Structure 1
Amino acid sequence: MTCTVSSDRKATMIAALAGGWVADAASLGLHWLYDSQRIHEVGGASPEFLPPKADYFKGGFGYFAHEGKQAGDISHYGAATGVLTDSLLAHNGTLDIRDYQRRFRAFFGPGGRWQGYIDNPTRGTLDNLNTIEQKAIEQALSATAVKLTEKQKRVLVQKVLPYTRRLSGEQLADPVRKAISLTYQEPEIQEAGVHLAETIDHHLLPESGADDMQLPAISKLPPLVASYYGSNNLLKVTEAAVRVTNHNDEAVAWAKCAARLLDHLFRGNPMSVALDAGTAEAPAPENLNKARTGSVLDAPGAGDVYGRTCYLHEAMPVIFHILSHASSYTEAVRANIQCGGDSCGRAWIIGPALAALYGVGGERGIPLSWLARLTDAPAIIADVESLVENRRRA
């Protein structure tokens, strides 16, 4: 059943989701430059939307990963968020794990549309999806009652895989049978192929993620939370989605922290309430509480204390520090870039959180000029609007 959402809340949600895309693109030029002094030398007080250049990384420690990207482009974090967004849109805002896995594999795998950096969780997930599929094939072949030659087994596997990779359950039988009939007219071989497809389908696992506790576990959450905020199932679907790419208990715990934080902001609660709610789910709440103390925004200092790398136990306190102290979207995004390290990964919580509070435009919201600099902004915003408009409860 479609959930009724007020026009004001829809506007907030659209701004929040747009805030993730803009913050990601704004951070790309200096992403994974760890030296805050070098960042200041290159970007000054306005380090956003710089074109990615290897020269920026000379004289400071970092890793240049975005050769060929332009100012306004999104990172691999944004690309993965787009995959989950597409899956949610295809299912009226409902998480469908198999569809999400298929889209992730098709987008980032061989022959996919993504051109750019592939992080460790993505690489591990692609490997795991292949391994899970191969084990399912072996289990299916061992359970086939019809006696088949080795050649027939190979042909049947080749016939059924295109369908098990995009269809499930009752959708499989007819197209698989028709595909096999092009080569084998014998009914028993056709039925063996259908059984093979259905058995493979049954043995594909939802937990396909790498054993990894880095930022890709939480960076894709904003569209999911936008579809399920206020729902009793939010944390359940959060865990299910995270384990597609990060099959790790600590990653799931931090993801629940981030999801609960966004959940409260998307519902219109104050930042302090949202931070408290997120902290209650965190595996290391003491660091989050400590990061919120003080009266001065000092993102580089927070990076010195907690770390700047992709690991969630480093990133989340830095995120909480910035959210606790920034007074505008612009200030928060710039502080995140100036902290250094995995600024694009952190941007996917910082951007939506501040945009949920301050919206678009004005002194504190997403600058309209920044929104205009986002590559493919019209298409991205159209998808965001569709997701919010069609939001359904789990």
Structure 2
Amino acid sequence: GCCSLYSSPYQSSFSKHDNNDGRNTDYKQTVVTTPDFIVTIHTSSMTTANSHAHIFVSVPSAHCYMKVIPVVSLYAGELDMLDRVKEAIMVNQTNPKAIHFGQAVATLLENLLLGSNLKTALEKVVEFAITGGHDEVMDACLRALGDAKSKSVEEVVQALGEEGLGGRSSKLPSAFTVPLYLLYKAVADAEETTDAQYTDAIRQNILAAGDTCSRAILLGAALAAASGSVPADIKDKTSSDVVSRVQKASKSIISVLN
């Protein structure tokens, strides 16, 4: 629930949340509906969104991904796309790492939505890291690429945990490195992204355990954008309630674009 892009506004408390790096944190979380969030971002009025979001301000976590997808859908191809993404992330995260990794994800998705294949889109992420001087993003890209050639996903998350980089949690850079690792493996398997690659990558993400949903936001969005759609067999297994929420969010984006 805490990572659902289509949740209704709610506030829930979590005590002693295990961050997979030996720390426990008490915090509260607030989630804003995607349709309301889209309208708020588009009108550049952050007051409404800020009234709902008070947590994760300093946390370098993958919760930034939830804002990236609708904003990129609105502003792909626009010169201020990355600025808009930053503005959206800062509704409830001001940590530089969350902003930079969120913008890296936005770069990936924008290129896929504008017609690039997955290999080219991944190259654009590296370019973003180099030109922006975002060393942590660059390190994560290089690590993901190297690990894709020799390690299993279980070995990847285990090492990231042992090094205090997030492991199986939603903490960055791990929540970026693991999906990128799976995307690099997909590129190595075939030139074009297929339904089989989508399904295999999602299953591998599940096997990695931990905060699978945070990683799946990036992984699922990128693979679906690269292949043109979510595989039919996965859509058929999705509950009608979730489908309804996705459609509602999509209509909100389309209404703003129109």
Report SS of the residue matched to 1:373.
Answer: coil
2:229 is equivalent to residue 357 of structure 1: no
What is the match of residue 374 of structure 1? 239
- State the Cα distance separating 1:385 from its structure 2 match: 3.4
How many angstroms does 1:331 deviate by?
A: 1.1
Q: Higher relative contact order at CA 8 Å, sep ≥6: structure 1 or structure 2? A: 1
Q: C-alpha root-mean-square deviation of aligned residues, in Å?
A: 3.2
8 Å CA contact 1:34–1:340 kept in 2: the answer is no
Query: Following superposition, which runs of at least 4 residues in structure 1 exceed 4 angstroms of deviation?
Result: 32-35, 91-95, 294-297
* 2:86 pairs with 1:275: no
TM-score scaled by length of structure 2: 0.71
1:385 equivalent among 225, 241, 250: 250
Matches within 5 A, 1:1-394: 80=31, 83-88=33-38, 90=39, 93-102=42-51, 105=52, 125=54, 210-279=57-126, 280-281=128-129, 282-284=134-136, 285-293=138-146, 294-295=148-149, 298-306=152-160, 307-326=167-186, 328-360=197-229, 365-374=230-239, 376-392=241-257
Q: What secondary structure is seen at the aligned counterpart in 2 of 1:213? A: coil
Q: One-letter code of the match for 2:158? A: D
CA 1:223 to 1:358, structure 2 compared with 1: closer, same or farther past 3 Å? same
Which ranges in structure 2 are unaligned for 5 or more consecutive residues? 7-16, 161-166, 187-192
On the 8 A contact 1:261/1:277 being kept in 2, the answer is yes
Name the CA distance, whole Å, in 1 between partners of 2:219 and 2:77.
20
Query: What's the offset of the Cα at 1:295?
Result: 4.2
CA-CA distance at 1:335 after TM superposition = 0.9
Amino acid at match of 2:225: A
Alignment size in residue pairs:
216
Report SS of the residue matched to 2:37.
helix
TM-score, normalization by structure 1? 0.48
**Higher strand residue share:** 2
Aligned residue identity for 1:228: Y
Which amino acid in structure 2 is aligned with residue 345 of structure 1? S
Largest Rg, 1 or 2: 1
SS across alignment from 1:251 = helix
Distance 1:358 1:215, change over 3 A: same
Q: d(CA) in 1 for partners of 2:100 and 2:45?
A: 21
Instruction: Kindly provide the amino acid, as one letter, of the partner of residue 98 in structure 1.
Output: T
Shift of 1:260: 0.9
Q: How much has 1:302 moved relative to structure 2?
A: 1.8
Check whether the contact 1:260–1:278 (CA below 8 A) recurs between aligned residues.
yes
Partner of 1:147 in structure 2?
none
Letter of the structure 1 residue corresponding to residue 170 of structure 2: C
